[in-house]
Copies of this chain bind each other. A is one copy, B any other.
Amino acid sequence: MKKLMNGPDTVLAESLDGFAAAHADIVTLGPGRQFVRRRETVAGKVALVSGGGSGHEPLHAGFVGYGMLDAAVPGEVFTSPTPDRIVAAAEAVETGAGCLFVVKNYEGDVMNFEMASEILGREVLTVRTDDDVAVENSTWTTGRRGVAGTLIVEKILGAAAERMAPLADLKALGDETNRRTRSMGVALTPCTVPAAGRPTFTLAEDEMEMGVGIHGEPGRRRVKLATADAIAAEMVGAVLDDLAPSPGARVILLVNGFGGTPTMELYLMANAARTVIEGRGVSVVRHLTGSFVTSLEMAGCSVTCTVLDDRLEALWDAPVRTAALRWGA
């Protein structure tokens, strides 16, 4: 295992300290590093709280700030955050208008955020993301997994919350955005959890895992490495088959690197994916390309499409100021 670290036990704490110092204009750490929160909360605004295992940076802490999340709760690497941390985060940023949890659909996360809701005993609703079309009922998940599309749900909810949308409306908006969002990924290499010290899976020199999850969970099939165009055709095909967009539909195309993928390859994949999408009569009207929802140093990428309407497009374009996404603010 080759990692820039001082030891597996302190990776999370030291990384959080570095993150908080680097973005001190936007975020601050909760007591005992239990959560990352917006430096200033807005009275009367619904509090948006997300979280999950670490190792997916910049998700979620990188999306805390104006126009996106109020708090993010990091667990240990690939491990759900405990309910007490989630409760502490919600209590720190809730200002009387209620709290909306955004939870990726993994059993541990779902259970711990549910327990936190019960403990909080105040107005909390949850949007569960399950955008990964690759598999149903996989390792650690009943139903579909929540993956990179989660950031699109968080961005759109964040913009609506900033406009003072009430809790019930945000819950409906989050569910609708999730329904309009689908993803699929491919891994070229595995990744290594610091505390484990060895790769989560192995892949031969000429193999890839098609439909991989963001913890390196198995996908649809393990196959020989294919061309970028063939990979894009399979992933975009699966995404669009599931979304079944109307002819002339407009989409956001998110090409997301898993942590070990060169930027050059991500733009090449964006080009390949756009060609497939537009070949099916759908317009890519917004692009996001980069490593946003990662699996430590895994090589590979995912493709996400969100079908827009005028409202979602305006919310996507609204100002955002976070460590990892920033425009118009």
Contact = CB atoms under 8 A, between A and B. Distances in A.
Contacts of A264: 11-12, 15, 54-55, 57, 77, 296
Which secondary structure characterizes the binding site on chain A? mixed
A3 to B, nearest CB: 6
A205 interface: yes
A229 B6 contact: yes
A127 B265 CA distance: 30
Contact of A267 (B15, B266, B272): B15
Contacts of A274: 18, 21
A291 to B, nearest CB: 7
- State the oligomeric state as a number of copies: 2
A264 B289 CA distance: 19
Interface stretch (A170-178, A237-245, A254-262): A254-262
Interface residues of A, number: 60
15 contacts: A2-B208, A4-B301, A5-B228, A11-B264, A11-B268, A14-B228, A14-B271, A21-B270, A21-B284, A57-B263, A259-B263, A260-B299, A262-B297, A263-B294, A326-B327
Interface of A: 2-7, 11-12, 14-19, 21-23, 54-55, 57-58, 62, 77, 188-189, 205, 208, 225, 227-229, 231, 259-272, 274, 284, 287-289, 291, 294, 296-297, 299-301, 326-327
A227 B9 CA distance: 13
A284 B55 CA distance: 26
Given A4-B268, A267-B18, A262 B262 contact: no
